[in-house]
Amino acid sequence: MLVKQYQGMLLNIAYSITLDREESLEIVQDVFVKACSGIKGFRQDASLGGWLRKITINTCLNWKRKWKRRFRWSHDPIESDDDWILKDVDQSGSNPENQYREKEFEENIMKQISKLPEKIRVVFVLNALEGMSYDEIAEHLNIKRGTVSSRLHHARKILMDSFKSL
């Protein structure tokens, strides 16, 4: 089914832009509803995944309704880091120590990603997650290719600097 096939990809995009689990689930639900009701607008020669991805990005960027909640997330996470890590440690298998470290590392990355300005973060995640080319990102976000390049580099520089300081 359409939802099962694409929900992972769309959730990755939605979550990396909104940084909120509930919002990203709502957005993806909206995207599928929009896609079903507007399926006539889908061009047969285009990729269905690409079309859904575009709707998701637009929906995320227009998702202003819960802006305050999104802002709060980066300062006051609903789940504390320790809770999340401990929960995963409890579920861990043969090597709890490695899993703990891995989760800790991932959580640190997420923290640093959440600190990126949204415009920079969107470009970064579309490239890193979806492997989108500069031209594709520029077209999706209606910005210049050079802007994509500079934002992407900026994101990488911030993230690498933050990892060095850890």
Partner 1 sequence: MKKQCQAYAPEVLSRFADNELDDVLYRQIQAHTDGCNQCRQVIDGYRQVSQAASHAIASKVSTFDTGGLGTAVIERVAPQKSGGFKKVFDYFSLKLYLKVASVAAVMVLGLAYFQDTPLNMNMREFSELREPSAIVTSVDARSSVMIFETEKSKHTVIWFSET
* Collapsed DSSP state (helix, strand, coil) of residue 42: coil
Nearest to 30 by CA among 11, 43, 46, 16: 11
**Chosen residue from 28, 85, 122, 138 binding partner 1 by CB under 8 A:** 28
Q: Which is nearer to partner 1, 107 or 139 (CB)?
A: 107
Close Cβ partners of 135 (under 8 Å, ≥ 6 residues apart): 145
CB of 75 to partner 1, least distance (A): 18
Q: Which is nearer to partner 1, 45 or 93 (CB)?
A: 93
Q: Where are the beta strands (DSSP E) in 48-161?
A: none
Q: Which is nearer to partner 1, 30 or 61 (CB)?
A: 30
Query: How many residues sit close enough to partner 1 to count as binding (CB under 8 A)?
Result: 40
In the block, tokens 């997330």 appear at 73
Q: Which is nearer to partner 1, 61 or 104 (CB)?
A: 104
Residues found in the chain? 166
Close Cβ partners of 73 (under 8 Å, ≥ 6 residues apart): 19, 20, 114
DSSP 45: T
Q: By CB under 8 A, tell whether 89 contacts partner 1.
A: no
CB of 141 to partner 1, least distance (A): 16
> For residue 133, which amino acid is it?
S
- Binding residues for partner 1, rule: CB under 8 A, are 1, 3-4, 7-8, 11-12, 15-16, 21, 24-25, 28-29, 32-33, 36-37, 105-107, 109-110, 113, 124-125, 127-129, 133-134, 149-150, 152-153, 156-157, 159-160, 163
